[in-house]
Structures are given as C-alpha cells and as structure tokens.
Amino acid sequence: MLDFMRELLKVDTGREQTNFENVGVFLHYARKYNLYPEFLTISGGVNEPEFEAEGRTLIQFGANNYMSLSEEPAVKAAAIRAIEEYGIGPGGSRLMSGNIAIIEEVEGRIAALTGMEDCLTFPTGYMANVTVFQTVMNPVMGRLPYRSQDGVIFIDELVHGSAADGCRLSGVRTVKFKHNDLEDLRAKLRENEELTNKLIVTEGVYCLEGEIIDIPAYVEVAREHEAKLMVDDAHAIGVLGARGGGSPDHHGCADGIDILMGCMDKAMGGTGGYLCGKKDLIDLLRAAANSSVLSSALPCSMAGAMIAAIEIIQQARDRREDLARKSRYLRQGLQHLGLTVLGPDYIPSVPLFVGDEALGVAFAAGLRDRGIFCPVMRWPAVPLGKARLRLSLMVRHEQRHLDALIAACGEVGRELGVAIG
C-alpha cells in the first residue's frame, strides 16, 4: 500500500490535473498493485454451489448464502406471493407512502428471532449502519446540557467499513480499540470516563478472522463504564444460536445489547438490513434515521421471502450443525496441507490467509483455473499485506465440492510456495 500511495503521489504531469485524469491514474496504480477487484459475470445458478460464468461451470465459494435459503422453493414462492399481493416497489419512504403490513410483519419476526424488543428494516445493511450513529449519537440524545463533544464511539479496529462510514458521517469523535482487545477498550473508556454518551461497537462474528466474539464480556464492560453496546451481527444471524437468532440467542445476552444490527443477505439468503433494540430507540430511528425517512423501504417481495426464511431458520438446527461440520472439515483439510486458516471457530466463513496481494490474486486465479471461484479479500476490506481468501460455505455444498476445494488449494499453494505440506 505504501508503494501504491507513493507512486500515486509521485505522479506529476507538470500541470494541474482534472479529476478525471486522477481517476485514470488511480485505476492504473490500483491495477498495478493488484488492488483492483475482478468482477465476474454470472449467467446462471446465482448463489448455488455450482454456477455458470464465462461459458463454464464453477464451484461457488464466495457467496454468503450460508443456509442455502436464496434458492429455497418456499422462500422463492413467498417472494412471488408478496409481489402478487403488494406489487414490485414499496412506493417510497415509509414516512411518505405509508407503512406496509408485510414489512411490519417481517420486523416483528426479526425481533422475535433475535430476542430483541423491536426492529426497523432497511433495503441494505450498509444503509442501517450509515444511519444509526448519526441518529443515536445526536446531541438531543445525551444528558442535558449536552454538547456533541460529550459523545464518543469506541469501535473495534476491524469493524466493517459500513459502520466506520456511519461513524464518520455522524461527526462524533470515534476511537478505535485493538481488535477484540477488552483491556485496550477498557483503557480507552477510562480515558473518556467523564463523557456522557458512550457507544461501543463490535461484531458478533468476524467472518474475515474466523471468530465468534464473546459478546457477554462486552456487555459487562459496557455496564462497568455506563456505555451503550452495539453489535453488528451480519454474519451471526441464522448460523449462531439454537433458534438461529445470532449472538443474542447464542450467548443468551439480548438484554445487554442496546443496538443489534444485522443483514438479510447472508444466512437469510435475501437482501436488506435491520436495527433492533428497545421500542423507544426503534421509534426514534423510525422518525429520525435518514436511511429510512429519506429513502425507499425494503421491497415487499423481500419482506415476504424473509418471513419464510425466518420460519426455516428457526427450525434449522440440522443446517447449522451441517455448516459447523463442513467448516471443521475444510479447516482441518487446509491446515493439514500446511496452509494458514485464521481464527479458532467453526463458522461458515473460512479465511485462508495468503498475505501479499499479488499472491492472493494468483491464488484465486489458480483456483479459478481449477473450476473454483473465491474472491481475494484485500485492502481496503483488510489491512495491506494481509490478503486472504474468504471461503464461504453453504448447506448445499456437497462433500465432493469441499474435497475439490481442498485439493485445488493444495495444488495452488504448492505451485505458489504458500503451502508447506
């Protein structure tokens, strides 16, 4: 990255550049340093274990469709029924064109699934995260007399970019703590003890680190320091907890979480985001969150589909166990080859560490030559020099898919000098 920035800054055409010239320069260096992502066009089998692209069949290890609900007949049928009943679009923002019964219903179902009191949905998780900080850290919310300097957000340094964007947009001072380091968090809270409006932000599952976070420990720290706690549970909903209710269900700690954020495009198989919390807080968001007030609601087809997905998730203990078993098998298979798999937990996202960006790109290309698709996660999604392949598992992956992946990783790893075994 440093080389990338250095080269960018060195560029001197001897005259002032227009923005568009800078775009070209940026693209040139992003490509030169292997930071520009490749966009694969899929023509069939979207979200399925095998899909069509570039005139051939590839095995999918990049999709977040953990529970294989995206193509589940009952979920698709529910989406079609909702279109027939409610039409294609929500008609605008809920404030302008009215609340729609099926959207309120899915919100009630998400609240019940997670064990939280109330819920508000958005068309994407990104929209939920960019709006929440601005709304809840607003000076009106703090103890009066209140100044915006009295608010501070403590975020884990590896929190998703959408939450980091939301913090920036709020204009509230944001302090990063070391990833999942409670002592560092405590020290930073102590430095800001006198402030009245403190919010701690972490994720329930870090999919790029292969980790389930001990959320009850954060609940305790938040209580010790009179701070509020927000958990981005995008990768936990559906796969953690006996009922699939994510971190609050898995750890039995719904009471200690003030804001639970989640996404519907991972285990739930659809698209959309949500914020859950106490009824008053969600009422505030209903009236004041810009992503809801100034933007269209979730499409009704998605609300219908997600109600059906939740019904399956609640009963799908066998699917969760299957994913954990596959995760263990894949981790052990890769480790046996001498490859580095990050994190200790058996979650359906298995991060295979490569390091160098160019090596990551070559690794993904090698897998693709062998009929396997998995994108490389690299800066800015992860720090520079820490590229990794995020191998995503789905319920519908078969044993032969896993074995093909492990064999291909072994071959590519040896070819590139990544594997030791």
Ligand X SMILES: Cc1ncc(COP(=O)(O)O)c(C=O)c1O
Q: List residues binding ligand X (CB under 6 A).
A: 124-126, 129, 160, 162, 203, 232, 234-235, 263, 265, 273
The owner of tokens 């701070």 is 227
CA distance 383 to 147: 34
Closest to ligand X by CB, 239 vs 339, is 239
Instruction: In angstroms, give the least distance from the CB of 72 to ligand X.
Output: 19
CB contact burial 335-344 (16+ within 10 A = b; e otherwise): eebebbbbbe
- Tokens standing for residue 321: 């166990």
CA distance 146 to 206: 34
Closest to ligand X by CB, 236 vs 308, is 236
Closest to ligand X by CB, 160 vs 225, is 160
Closest to ligand X by CB, 121 vs 150, is 121
CA distance 218 to 188: 14
Instruction: In angstroms, give the least distance from the CB of 340 to ligand X.
Output: 22
CA distance 392 to 148: 41
Instruction: In angstroms, give the least distance from the CB of 246 to ligand X.
Output: 12
What burial class does residue 109 get, using C-beta atoms within 10 Å of its C-beta: 0-12 exposed, 13-18 middle, 19+ buried? buried
Closest to ligand X by CB, 130 vs 222, is 130
From 221, 219, 226, 229, select the one nearest 183 (Cα to Cα).
Answer: 221
| CA separation, residue 34 to residues 335, 357, 376 (Å) | 26, 6, 10
Closest to ligand X by CB, 113 vs 234, is 234
Instruction: In angstroms, give the least distance from the CB of 261 to ligand X.
Output: 7
- Tokens standing for residue 38: 């490749």
Closest to ligand X by CB, 273 vs 348, is 273
Closest to ligand X by CB, 154 vs 274, is 274
Instruction: In angstroms, give the least distance from the CB of 208 to ligand X.
Output: 8
Instruction: In angstroms, give the least distance from the CB of 120 to ligand X.
Output: 14
Instruction: In angstroms, give the least distance from the CB of 50 to ligand X.
Output: 23
Closest to ligand X by CB, 128 vs 412, is 128
Closest to ligand X by CB, 33 vs 126, is 126
Instruction: In angstroms, give the least distance from the CB of 124 to ligand X.
Output: 4
Starting at the edge strand that comes first in sequence, how are the strands of the sheet with 340-341 ordered? 340-341, 349-355, 387-392, 376-377
- Tokens standing for residue 284: 């505030």
CA distance 66 to 207: 12
Instruction: In angstroms, give the least distance from the CB of 370 to ligand X.
Output: 26
Instruction: In angstroms, give the least distance from the CB of 158 to ligand X.
Output: 10
For ligand X, which residue has the nearest CB?
Answer: 125
The owner of tokens 């006198």 is 194
